[in-house]
Structure 1
Amino acid sequence: MLLGDAAAGDDPAPGAGRPAEASEARFRLHQATAAYLMAVAADRPLLVAIDDLQWADTASLGLLSDLALLLRGAVAIVITVRSGEGAAAVHDTLGLLGRHDALRLPLAGLDPAAVAELSGLRDAASVAALAERTRGNPLFIRETLRLAEDQGIDRALTGVPEGLADVLRRRLLDLPARHRPAIDAAAVLGTGADRRLLAEVVADASGADVDEALDAATALRVLDEDLRFTHDLVRETVYADIPPRRRAGLHLAALRALELRPGADLAVLARHALAAGSAAAAEAVRWASATAGQAAGRHAYEDAAQWWRRAVEAHGTLPGADPREHVELLLQLVRAQLAAGHGFSARQTRAEAVLAADRSGDPLLAARALTSLDAPGLWKFYTYGDVELHTVRRIEDALTALPEGDSELRCRLLGCLGMERYDGSADPRCDTATAEALAMARRLTASGEAGPELLAITLNARYLGVQLPEHMAELDAIGEELTRLGLPGFELLGHMIRERTRIDLFDMAGADRAAERAGVLVERLDLPWPRFQHLIWTGTRRLLDGDFDGAGNAYAAAAEAGERLNLWHTSNTLSSALLTRHFAMGDYDGAEELMAHYSPFPAHRQVIGVLIGDWRGDRTAAEAAREQGWHPLPRDFGELPGLCLQGEAQIIAGDHEACALTYRRLLPYEDRIAFGAGTFCAGPVGYYLGRMAHLGRAAGPETARAHLDTAAKRCAANGLTWWAARIARERDRIAP
């Protein structure tokens, strides 16, 4: 690992702090590492060599990514990685390094001349056969030559199986059977083996048998003098051939021996305990939990989530285990998943925690589990349009069971209830529950019974529960307040809210200032979801300027970020944003492919279907909508752009009565931009009112001209010159 365990000692206790604060601490750690390397490089040239990057953990990959930016070429870094191996995060890191002009040197197999030099063979035919058989792989070449020492080159070339493992197994047959236990134990221990430890694992009190086995393995070049296998593939082959029950027993013996050593690595203990199976399940929970805490301490949240999951799974196998302890492990996993940006996985884990809490018989524990999704969130932690009614009922039951009066848990439950009910129906309980929660949070904070974190969580709940056009001023104020609470993650959320609300309120300069600050925090905190969301906003902001190429580039970057996330509903958001671009350009070529991911609501699909059909010269969808009626639009963050586009569809369909109703619904928001929280922006509402008044016959031509004239002036005053010109052209088409 590039990050040493000592880094964890500088941070609060594992699990402490918010995900965003931890991310900021991680970035400071990376800055300190870069400063140290630059200080060393100031006196003499410095080369940092990193071998086998495909085995790096996520914390090390994050450090390497930041070093590429922070060092700015002051230190030379050489990395080796096996082609095609490693997790997706490894290849993401390589891609990032490539954007910093890293020099790539692909290493192909050795050519015949190099094979001849390595092998020492003088016969050209044998060299050619060896090169062809091994494809120039140095390890394959060496292993084939070692086999040739015993059987001759001709037989080695013709008799070597295609898999290297079979080559190794043939060599291992030369080890006497009495030596295999020690070699098997060495394979189980890996690079941490030493003679005394091996003797303990195989119960060789004197160590004589182990010494004899190690000497024999060294002579056969299975092991090096330092007791490491000559190649990891050798160790992996030996390990794979150990019968499962014996392998588990060796892991258990290794665990028992290593637990007595105060300097043992926590992750090594955890791996041995997990591999030992049911005989060490309790130890697996202990050491996996400790390793997860250590990973969180060095800001390796992906690793922390993986280790918490292993701890949960091991605890689930313990007969008679305390269900309350199981819930606590699951809640630790939720926190790690939120910190890593895995919101949907965290939601699934929350459901597990609630069920486990039920088995404990502790209603307060179940309530804690229900409110565990408390990370800063611009969007809800599940696919929009769904409401988990069973979760809503559980929250309501938990509220009923709590004593009356103010409490942090009641406050959290009320906020959670409002968020859960937000589904496009404008359920009044979203408003009442979050309003009650926010008032309670302010009282608890003012009395000193709660800190700013509760207020931030409740403000976030209020924002998510009442995203409606009539609440826009309040939403903007929520964003402003979040930026002043001194909590970096919620500060970022506040700026990201305001980069959206300010545009809705036609304040482009204010939105751009908020976006600039949000961009700085996105880079500093390195949180994956906010990065994706900010890129979506960037593309939509460029659409307002008529910069279609710039918007496309930003959406492409968002798509790349979304693929790396591999999380919930990025495809829906991207489809919505890309449809926005099609609509702004007036070109729907390829838009039909986006419809499948666009929205779960029939009204949205109906409107887009009419617009695409009209562009293709097909009035089927328009006539069907007029005949069958228009689906009601969801009342949510996308209500204004939805109404604008529905009005356009009604103009196409010639449904003047319906258009007049849409016009009246939009009229109170004439001074707004229908921004749709950045995911679907229709543009200035006044433009659509003018078109509906004129083409939809919702009002007279003078009213239409007035709408358009006001909208054009407002756009010009806010620097939206593309929109100002478009609206002016529309106005000039109306006869005086």
Structure 2
Amino acid sequence: MAEGNNGETVRPGRAGSVPPGGRLVERDHEERLLDELLRGLRAGRSALVEVRGGPGAGRSALLRRAGELAAAAGVRVAGAQACWEETGVRHAVAAQLYAALAPRASPLVGELLRPGAEEDGALTGRLCRAFLAAARSQPLLVVVDDVQWADRESLRFLRTLARRLAGAPLLLVTARSDALPPGPGERIELCPLADPRVVARHAVDLAPLSAAGAGRVLAEALGEPVEPELAAAAALAADGNPAVLRAMAERFARPGRPAAQGREARDGEARGRDARDREARLLRCAGEAVRDRAVRTLAVLPEDLVEVLRAIAVCGPHGSPAMIAALASPRAVDTAQALELLAGSGLLAPGERPRFRAERAAEAALAGLGAERREHLFARAAELANRAALPDDALAGMLLGARVIGAPWAVAVLRREAARLRVAGDPAASVRLLRRALREPVGPRLRVELLTELGVLALPGSPESSDRFLRQALLAPADASAGPARVRAADLLVARGDYASAVPLIAGAGARPGVGDRERAALRALYWLARHGQDGSAQEPHRPEPAALPERPDDPAEAGAAAWLAALHGRDLTRARELARAALSPAAPDGTSLTARVAACHALLLTEDVAEAQLGLDAVLARAHRANAPAVIALALLIKALATLGEDRAEEAERLLERAEEALPERCWHPQVAPGVRAVRTLARLARGDLDGAERAGAPVRPEEAGGSMARAFLAYARGRVRLARGDGAGALGELRECGRLLLARQMANPALLPWRSASARALALTGDDAGAAELVAEERRLALAWGAPRTLARALRAAGDAGPEQGGEPGREPAFGTAAVRLLADGPASWQFRQALVAMGTAAVSGLGAIDSLLRSGLAPAGPVLRAGPPAPVPVPDPEPVPVPDPAPDPAPAPAPVTVAPPVPGGPRPVAGAAAPGPARPDLTAAERRVAALAAEGLANRVIAAELSVTLRTVELHLTKAYRKLGISGRPELARALGRDERNENGAPVRPAA
């Protein structure tokens, strides 16, 4: 603030840099004040003005402007510049002033500069009389810059002169850095008895430049107006300091800057890019200006003060004067005096603890040190800070630049601060701290833990670095205590999808001596999970290869892997369910592999225990959040999205995908797994009817995603479904066949995973290949029967009935088979395996056969051919064969009407519950011939019969030929009557002979 001598408050102005040949920026008020005071000298009114501001705030520029105004007003000027080097030189400032007042040689100048000049008031009095006499002859302006560095004798002279201003028209203007406020004996004050109307006093504080002022400085340097946003950025970068702004503007205006011409004609996006580029370049120029200013200042400072500045740079804002003294140990001056001298340099910010104003200035202070000396200085600072119990952030900052400490506290501090920064959302800083911790001597287990933590923290910014850290954790020498840490590293490596690296490393880690049984079992489970998920072309035997998973594993991780593999292969639903439940049991150890738990949840989805799978995934998510495993979190959310898609909740699936994207962006997935994420997103959008969005989500395969991974099969299936919904049968068939090829190469035949056969059948029907479509549907129905999950089975049976727009179905749904294929499948009977499976699963009571037929036809589109509603003709029961009997599913399909069993025919085989009653016994036909003949009598083509019975087409033809010969008939038209079947019309109703 500026205060008048009579107590009035003068509004503060803004000081700035002097444009060449122009006025100061944002100092109209100060200029008017000086002009008024200079005019008042003509009327005999004197004044005392003190200008205050930080280094670079424009104090010297304001004093130069005062000299220009004085010259224009006919006022004589005497000026002096104090400096800290001459602080101890007596009368240094007074001699400069007197020499400016009396340029000719004067005896008084010699007396002022003579060594050992008197220290009493006689010389000071002679000086005052000389200046007052000169002012009486002509109004006088006396200006002293950086008065804080004035020597004691000159300061006494200025104080004495200020008390006598009423005796002559004299304007005394001093400039002082506010970094060094005056002490009690250094204040320059007026005489208390002076008349305010004769002598005025003003204090002017120079404020930083505003954004508008910074814009003026930039515009003058560039020769053109600048955007308000750029001006605001410049003011913020320079902290409103005019000196820094001027240096910044000069650098910014050098050749090579972005051209400003034609910006108006460019589009908004291009202008936005230009603005961002200009702002980034401006900030670089600001940093260079601050650094150069610091370098120039350091170049003129004595070594003791430079050492103090280096100690301040090492300690940062937390260094106390005692720590700085212990580090710097100045010889010529004590630390307190050094800090006082440095306060006026403009490098340090005001406050109790010394610190640099700008980070670039601190870097400049340390730039001259060699690497060894710098590390030694940081290490000493860290040890002092540890003894002083400074906070972890201060200690960690010092340890980053220090040599190896070799003490346990260093690693503990770095880990704690890394964890805090991770929670604060700065993983890059956490990675730097943990990498520094690895330089310290640590034990085997701690090294593996640090590498694993680095793998987690590096994942968002650099997935490749994350995998590299995890691979190092598996390769690092370790003892038995490092087993759990290694399992976690392998778990995270597999969860992100780096299967190619994980397979050999896990195999090697599990074969090392000293690995515990539990850790070895967990590594074995992760090995087989990675082995079945990786690119088929990259699978090579690894020596030594872990043993195969046991049939009934005791370890939860092995149980989860075994359940997943059994479910993918479509074998033994009951065993897969039991193994998955064992892996997710609450009694399982907390350290059980999270990826194996996710695999067990996926297995439960395939066994259609959806509620249990959802609960298991929620438990895995809770554990993964506590363990800070973003890859596992994203993987679990991806499986949850699949579960919700199976329940026709597409919007919920997309919300889960968004959460997975937050946990692990798609770019962070390994290329072998990333196609699976896109596949689920494609299916979710397709389920909502957004064909365009689904097509964008399943965009062409990227080069790094090409290969034979399981995720690639998912993407091929999703792309095939989209093409099918577009009516592109040929394109869909290519994608779906690729999906089938990738899955069958791994023996993953379970249609519960991906029903690619029925989708391929729809594509074949669009191309006119109805026979091939029927064969694929029959194959999927057979595999669904072998698996035994009710919803998978129902989906396989409904495959022929989902009508598309051309059949009158809903828009966006996939097209159905051609009419011939629908009739072919619809007219065929339910196989004996399916009837036995229905009974074994307990989905139908033993009360009749018609209800089973109604179940088989439920879900078929009414627009297709009408299926026969009556009971099917009797089908010969084959010889007893072992049929897998799955457990009842917890969420079975709706139970059909009661099923009754026809009474046995005397002399015939015992009927199977739920199977069609056999016709008259034909002892001349073998069981296989009766089975083939019964299916042919129902109208099934030979190819469909072969697929239904899992035999070759030639076998069917041979059985039919023998049956014709034994029955004495010539072909199919007579087969039904020869077997004792009723003739039926096209709707399946029995044809009654005319009365």
1:727, CA displacement in angstroms? Answer: 6.7
Cα offset, 1:341, TM superposition: 9.5
Residue of 548, 551, 555 corresponding to 1:433: 548
- Amino acid aligned to 1:372: R
Bigger Rg over Cα: 2
Change over 3 Å in CA distance of 1:172–1:513 after alignment to 2: closer
2:866 aligned partner, one-letter code: A
Partner residue, 1:648: 759
- Give a deviation string over 1:269-292, Cα, whole Å, max 9, x none: 55444424xxx2x32785652234
Deviation of 1:141 after TM superposition, in Å, equals 6.2
Please say if residues 188 and 239 of structure 1, whose CA atoms lie closer than 8 Å, have aligned partners that are also in contact: no
Which string of whole-angstrom CA distances, capped at 9 and with x for unpartnered residues, describes residues 161-184 of structure 1?
663335434366356421223213
Q: Which residue of 1 aligns with 2:307?
A: 181
What CA distance in whole angstroms lies between the structure 2 residues aligned with 1:125 and 1:144? 13
Secondary structure at the aligned position of 1:173 is classed as: helix
1:252: how far off?
1.4
In structure 2, what is the equivalent of residue 666 of structure 1? 784
Matched with 2:103 is: none
SS in 2 for 1:728: coil
If the length of structure 1 is used for normalisation, what is the TM-score?
Answer: 0.59
Match 1:735 to one of 866, 874, 899: 866
2:172 aligns with: none
CA contact (8 A) 2:495 2:632 kept: no
CA drift of 1:236 comes to 2.8
SS of aligned partner of 2:648? coil
Aligned to 1:275: 401
In structure 1, what is the Cα distance between the partners aligned to 2:751 and 2:725?
A: 22
1:692-714 deviation per Cα after TM superposition (whole angstroms, max 9, x unaligned): 99948995535479989x9xx99
The aligned counterpart of 1:256 is 380
2:487 aligns with 373
**How far off its partner does 1:258 sit?**
3.7
Q: How does 1:201-240 map to 2 (within 5 A)?
A: 201-204=327-330, 208-223=333-348, 224-229=350-355, 231=357, 234-240=358-364
Using the aligned pairs only, state the percent identity.
15
Question: Which residue is 2:72 aligned to?
Answer: none
Verify the 8 A CA contact 1:341 1:527 in the aligned structure 2.
no
Q: CA deviation at 1:577?
A: 0.3
* Cα distance between partner residues in 1 of 2:217 and 2:361: 22
Aligned equivalents of 1:249, 1:462: Cα separation in 2: 58
Residue 505 of structure 2: aligned partner? 391
Deviates more, 1:510-519 or 1:194-203: 510-519
Alpha carbons 1:538, 1:554 under 8 Å: kept: yes
Amino acid at match of 1:589: E
CA distance in 2, matches of 1:629, 1:411: 32
- What is the CA–CA distance in structure 2 between the aligned matches of 1:123 and 1:626, rounded to whole Å? 66
CA distance in structure 2 between the aligned counterparts of 1:484 and 1:508, rounded to whole angstroms: 18
Residues 143 and 504 from structure 1, CA distance in 2 versus in 1: closer, same or farther, beyond 3 angstroms? same
Counterpart code for 1:590: R
Counterpart residue identity of residue 249, structure 1: R
Aligned-partner residue type, residue 287 of structure 2: A
How far apart are the structure 2 equivalents of 1:156 and 1:212?
A: 31
TM-score, length-scaled by structure 2: 0.46
Q: Of 574, 593, 596, which residue of structure 1 is paired with 2:699? A: 593
- Determine the C-alpha separation between the residues in 1 that align with 2:216 and 2:321: 40
Q: Which residue of 1 aligns with 2:642?
A: 540
* Residue 579, structure 1, aligned to residue 678, structure 2: no
- Name the aligned partner's letter for residue 544 of structure 1: G
Q: Secondary structure at the match of 1:580?
A: helix
SS of 1:201 mapped into structure 2: helix
Give the superposition deviation at 1:190.
0.9
Counterpart in the other structure of 1:242: 366
* 1: CA distance, partners of 2:683 / 2:208: 66
Q: In structure 2, do the counterparts of structure 1 residues 379 and 435 end up closer, same or farther at CA, with 3 Å as the change threshold?
A: farther
Displacement of 1:507 in angstroms is: 4.1
Q: Check whether the contact 1:296–1:304 (CA below 8 A) recurs between aligned residues.
A: yes
* Contact 2:564-2:603 at 8 Å conserved across structures: no
Q: Partners in 2 of 1:466 and 1:332 — Cα distance?
A: 33
What code does the residue aligned with 1:333 have? L
Aligned CA distance change for structure 1 residues 414 and 636 (closer, same or farther; 3 Å): same
Q: 1:159 to 1:299 in 2, by over 3 A?
A: closer
- Tell me, yes or no, if the aligned pair for 1:502 and 1:508 is still in contact at 8 Å: yes
Q: Give the counterpart letter for 2:696 in structure 1.
A: G
Matched, 1:307 2:421: no
**Structure 2 partner of 1:336:** 453
- CA positional deviation for 1:575: 0.6
Answer yes or no: is the 8 Å Cα contact 2:549–2:558 preserved in 1: yes
Structure 1 residue 239 displacement after superposition? 1.1
Q: 1:17-57 deviations in whole A, cap 9, x for unaligned?
A: xxxxxxxxxxxxxxxxxxxxxxxxxxxxxxxxxxxxxxxxx
Q: Check 1:487–1:615 CA distance in 2 against 1; reply closer, same or farther (3 A cut).
A: same
CA distance in 1, matches of 2:669, 2:236: 39
Could you say which residue in structure 2 is the equivalent of 1:191? 317
Do the aligned partners of residues 252 and 637 (structure 1) sit closer, same or farther apart at CA in structure 2, a change above 3 Å counting? farther
CA deviations over 1:168-222 (Å, ceiling 9, x no partner) = 3436635642122321321222112222322332343x68254343212212343
- Whether the aligned pair in 1 keeps the contact of 2:496 and 2:632 (CA below 8 Å) is no
Distance 1:147 1:381 in 2: 51
Q: Does 1:348 align with 2:468?
A: yes
On the 8 A contact 1:650/1:659 being kept in 2, the answer is yes
SS at match of 1:373: helix
Q: Provide, for residues 401-454 of structure 1, a one-character-per-residue CA deviation record: whole Å limited to 9, x for no partner.
A: 689xx9456545544543443347799999963328x75xx5xxxxxxxxxxxx
Distance 1:124 1:544 in 2: 58
Q: Kindly provide the amino acid, as one letter, of the partner of residue 135 in structure 1.
A: A
Match of 2:991 in 1: none
Contact preservation (8 Å) 2:506, 2:523: no
Sort the Cα spacing of 1:193 and 1:624 in 2 relative to 1 into closer, same or farther, 3 A. Answer: closer
Distance change >3 Å, CA 431–CA 505, structure 1 → 2:
farther
On the 8 A contact 2:581/2:600 being kept in 1, the answer is yes
Q: What is the alpha-carbon distance in structure 2 between the residues aligned to residue 486 and residue 652 of structure 1?
A: 46
SS of 1:590's equivalent in the other structure is: helix
Q: How many residue pairs end up in the alignment? A: 557
CA-atom RMSD in angstroms: 5.6
User: 1 or 2, which has the higher helix percentage?
Assistant: 1
CA distance in 2, matches of 1:130, 1:121: 13
Task: Please give the alpha-carbon distance, in whole angstroms, between the structure 1 residues aligned to 2:719 and 2:635.
Answer: 26
Out of 216, 219, 241, the residue aligned to residue 144 of structure 1 is 241
CA spacing shift, 1:661–1:294, aligned 2, 3 Å:
same
Equivalent AA in structure 1 for residue 318 of structure 2: G
Give, in whole Å, the separation in 2 of the partners of 1:136 and 1:124: 5
Aligned CA distance change for structure 1 residues 238 and 341 (closer, same or farther; 3 Å):
closer
The amino acid across from 1:202 in the alignment is: A
Task: Please identify, of 121-130 and 552-561, the stretch whose mean Cα deviation from structure 2 is larger.
Answer: 121-130
Q: Report the AA paired with residue 642 of structure 2.
A: T
The answer for the alignment partner of 1:170 in structure 2 is 293
Matched, 1:135 2:231: yes
Q: Which runs of 5+ in 1 are unaligned?
A: 1-116, 149-154, 316-320, 358-363, 443-454, 675-681, 716-723
Which residue in 2 is equivalent to 1:79?
none
How far apart are residue 515 of structure 1 and its match? Answer: 5.8
1:397–1:688 CA distance, 2 compared to 1 (3 A) = same
Measure the CA separation in 1 of the matches of 2:592 and 2:788: 31
Q: Would the alpha carbon gap of residues 461 and 502 (structure 1) be closer, same or farther in structure 2, given more than 3 Å must change? A: closer
Does 1:290 find its partner at 2:412?
yes
Match of 1:631 in 2: 741
- Structure with higher RCO (Cα < 8 A, 6+ apart): 1
What does residue range 404-423 of structure 1 map to in structure 2 within 5 Å? 407-408=517-518, 410-412=520-522, 414-423=524-533
Of 645, 665, 688, the match for 1:563 = 665
- 1:344 and 1:171 mapped to 2: Cα distance? 39
Shift of 1:331: 0.8
